[in-house]
Amino acid sequence: MQEEIDSFSVNYPGCSVIEGSVHIVGEDIQSLDGLWVLDEIGGDLVIGEADSTGTSITDLFGLNYLTAIGGDFIIQNNPLLENLIGISNLVLDSLNSLTIINNPELSLCDVHAICNFLALPAPQVNIHDNGPDCENPEAVQLDCENNCLPQGIYFGTQYEIDMFKANHPGCTEIEGFVTIEGDNISSLLGLNDITTIQSRLLIGRLYPTTTNINLIDLNGLENLTFIGGFLAINWNTSLVSCSGLNNLKHVGDYLSFWGNGSLINLAGFENLEMVDGGINIHTNYELEDLSGLNSLSYIGEGLGIQYNYNLHNLNGINPTGSVVMAENMIISQNPVLTDIYGLQNFEFSSGAHLVINANGALSSCDALSICEFMVNSTGTIQISGNAFGCNNNGQVLYNCQACLPNGITLSTQEQIDNFQVTYEGCKIIQGPLIISGGDDITNLNGLNVLERVEEGLYIYDNINLEDLSGLDNISSIGSELVIHNNEVLDKISALSNIDPESIEYLEITSNPLLSNCAIQSICGFVVSLNVNADINYNAAGCNTIYEVHNACWTATAENNAGQFCKIFPNPTADWIIIETATTSSTFDFIIQNVIGQVEIHKSNISSPTHAIDLSELTDGVYFYTVMENDITVGKGKIIKNKF
């Protein structure tokens, strides 16, 4: 099954050598990418089924690091298989036998591994009923003999490119390196028969001097699917587009874009899936984004993005799938880069190193992949010299807890239950939180990770919601608190921890069973009565702001009864008197605000009656604790109100 391949490295961590045999079969299997960790197979490797459809793969990408098979190698009944590219590192000297049969679309078998095996003395081979050029061992050997230019080739003029087919007839797979650099080169159409370059491809120069001043695109390389070495596209003054490389799937070493002064994006690499080395994107002054790398799923080493002066974002790297990157990342000296959310789907190795520095406009670094890496990494992380929000590790970690800048509406129980999975790591909702209209909403427990909402909390039109448990950890809402038309809601104590000062407007209306609204946060907000609030059409006790206000005072008075000490007057305008039942020892008296900050701490009080001045405190609800010998002997609530 495809799922088994995709999760191989997770299910078998560290497994690179399989001592037994491997059998790959399943019509749903379209890719072998999940097997990239394999180095050796001690037994047989069988791809396909003898008597029925084997797989739906089109190539062997994913087996790129496989170097040895100890038993038989069998490829059979794969109706969509087109080529054997992907086994570039495989050495078949120890192979018992090779079978390639009943793959009707397979027309490219002359890869290095197969050619070298066929050249052995008396190899055990069974090849038949495949596509053209792969119908028998003789056809494959003929194509192997047509592999050309083991010494490589240098194109320095347009004439050399135009004459390539005439000078090298039948040459489609170049064994050596290829260099294209010449100021009169304007078209690569003469190279359109090339399907494979086993070594490297250099378009431009490795050192910083401009070339290919008349080359504006790469049309002519559209049949190239595999490069065994590096691909460097460097110092091409006029190159606007990489179109022409649209069928390239695999680069066996690093991929470099360096010093291409007219390149706007990376369109042309839409089918590139794997880069075994790193990717360097450096000094491309007009590059705006990374669109074109839509299919990229694996980077074997690091990613460097530096000195791209017009790069606004990193959008374009596989926006729908994941990108596995084995090593390090550096993002530096991109002065107009504002966010890196294009890296959202990256998966870093735990020991990788991350550098994000000197990007003057970069304020948003909290891409999901970066957040996960910062929490789980054992490597080094250096974040500095960017805009506020991404100027140090702490700022990024803080923003990593935030999410949903436009807010969210939750209208089903399933959305609430799945919140922590759907928005992994989200603790601070930057927009409003709306819980509304869900006939099946019965609890809010899935929201218990939320700590803040920055643009208001709205709970309305929920016919089966009885209480708000799950919102207990919210300490601030930043705007309005609206609780409206919840037919069976009878308890809102879960909102007690909200800072009253974060409430700008309060509405509690049309909740027919809600009778108790005298909770800490609400009491703190309505303490003066002169606030922006609408409380009505609820049950008695929470039917007007005056009922709630009085209930808050009653709760305070009841809270004081029968404790270690009495506090009066309460409510108070300025002073309180503490009257204790005993003077046998000293005690401490601590007053905290609604968010737990200590406002007053009086130590070693010994007199039975003690006065404390509260005139410096703003009006509101406060909480006191009485400590005797480090033991809490009394606590309660104080309302400060100048009337």
Give the confidence band of 402 by pLDDT, cuts at 50, 70, 90: confident
Do 363 and 390 contact (CB within 8 A), yes or no?
A: yes
Using DSSP's 3-state secondary structure scheme, residue 460 falls into strand
10 Å Cβ neighbour count for 590? 17
Q: Which residues contact 121 (CB under 8 A, 6 or more apart)?
A: none
Res. 583 pLDDT band, cuts 50 70 90: low
- 412 has pLDDT over 60: yes
Q: How confident is the model at residue 559 (pLDDT cuts 50, 70, 90)?
A: very low
Sign of CA dihedral 535, 539, 541, 547: positive
pLDDT at 562 over 70: no
pLDDT recorded at residue 539: 97
* Alpha carbon distance 6, 28 (integer Å): 12
Percentage of the chain lying above the pLDDT 90 cut: 58
Lowest-pLDDT range, 12-16, 79-83, 141-145?
A: 141-145
The letter for the amino acid at 569 is P
Dihedral in degrees, nearest 10, Cα atoms 579, 581, 585, 587: -40
According to DSSP, the β-strands at 565-568 and 575-580 are: antiparallel
Structure confidence by residue, pLDDT tens digits, 254-296: 999 999 999 999 999 999 999 999 999 999 999 999 999 989 9
- State residue 561's pLDDT score: 39
Residue among 546, 515, 625, 536 at smallest CA distance from 578:
625
Give yes or no for residue 558 having a pLDDT over 70.
Answer: no
CATH architecture of 562-640: Sandwich (2.60)
> Which pair of structure tokens corresponds to residue 165?
């087919």
Q: Higher confidence at residue 187 or residue 634?
A: 187
Whole-number pLDDT of residue 643: 53
Task: For 219-241, write each residue's pLDDT tens digit.
Answer: 999 999 999 999 999 999 999 99
CATH architecture of 153-400: Alpha-Beta Horseshoe (3.80)
Q: Is the pLDDT at 641 greater than 80, yes or no?
A: no
In this prediction, residue 560 carries a pLDDT of 47
Mean pLDDT for 565-570 is 77
Start-to-end CA distance of the chain, whole Å, equals 73
Q: Which residue has the higher pLDDT, 612 or 583?
A: 612
Can you tell me the distance from the alpha carbon of 511 to that of 272, in angstroms, rounded to the nearest whole number? 58
At 113-135, the pLDDT tens digits run: 888 899 898 899 999 999 998 99
pLDDT of residue 226: 94
- Per-residue pLDDT tens over the stretch 335-359: 999 999 899 888 888 788 999 999 9
CA-CA distance, 161 to 187, in Å (whole number)? 8
Run of H or E including 600? strand 598-605
Contact criterion met (CB below 8 Å) for 260 and 232: no
Report the pLDDT value the prediction gives residue 413, as an integer from 0 to 100: 96
Question: Sorting pLDDT into bands at 50, 70 and 90, what band is 581?
Answer: low
Top pLDDT among 10 and 594 is at 10
Alpha-carbon gap, residue 137 to 127, rounded angstroms: 6
Place 564 in a pLDDT band, splitting at 50, 70 and 90. low
* CB contact set of 443 (below 8 Å; sequence gap of 6+): 413, 416, 465, 467, 469, 470
**In sequence order, what E strands does 464-542 have?**
480-484, 505-509, 533-536
Q: Say yes or no to pLDDT of 333 above 50.
A: yes
* Residue 330: φ, ψ to 5°: -135, 130
Q: Is the pLDDT of residue 634 over 80?
A: no
pLDDT digits (tens, 9 = 90+) for 446-475: 999 999 999 999 999 999 999 999 999 999
> In terms of residues, how long is the chain?
643
Q: Name the residue with higher pLDDT: 234 or 529.
A: 234
Query: How does pLDDT run across 24-43, given as a tens digit for each residue?
Result: 999 999 999 889 889 999 99
Here the tokens at position 385 are 């010299």
Q: Which residue has the tokens 């890196």?
A: 340
Check if the beta carbon of residue 430 is closer than 8 Å to that of residue 403: yes
Question: What is the Cα–Cα distance from 130 to 244, expressed in whole angstroms?
Answer: 29
Average pLDDT, the chain: 90
Q: Is the dihedral of CA 553, 556, 562, 566 positive or negative?
A: negative
Q: What digits encode the pLDDT tens for the residues 167-224?
A: 888 899 898 899 999 999 999 999 999 999 988 999 999 888 888 999 999 999 999 9
Token pair listed for 181: 């650099």
Asked if 69 and 87 touch (Cβ cutoff 8 Å), the reply is no
Say which residue, 325 or 212, is predicted with more confidence.
212
The pLDDT, as a whole number, for residue 557 is 43
Query: Exposed, middle or buried: residue 331 (CB in 10 Å: 0-12, 13-18, 19+)?
Result: buried
Q: What is the pLDDT of residue 89?
A: 72
For the stretch 68-78, pLDDT in tens is 999 999 999 99
**What is the model's pTM?**
0.56
pLDDT band at 376 (very low <50, low <70, confident <90, very high): confident
> Which has the higher per-residue pLDDT, 245 or 368?
245
Question: 245: Cβ–Cβ under 8 A, 6 or more apart, which residues?
Answer: 218, 221, 222, 224, 268, 269, 272
- Please give the Cα distance from 460 to 435 (Å, whole number): 7
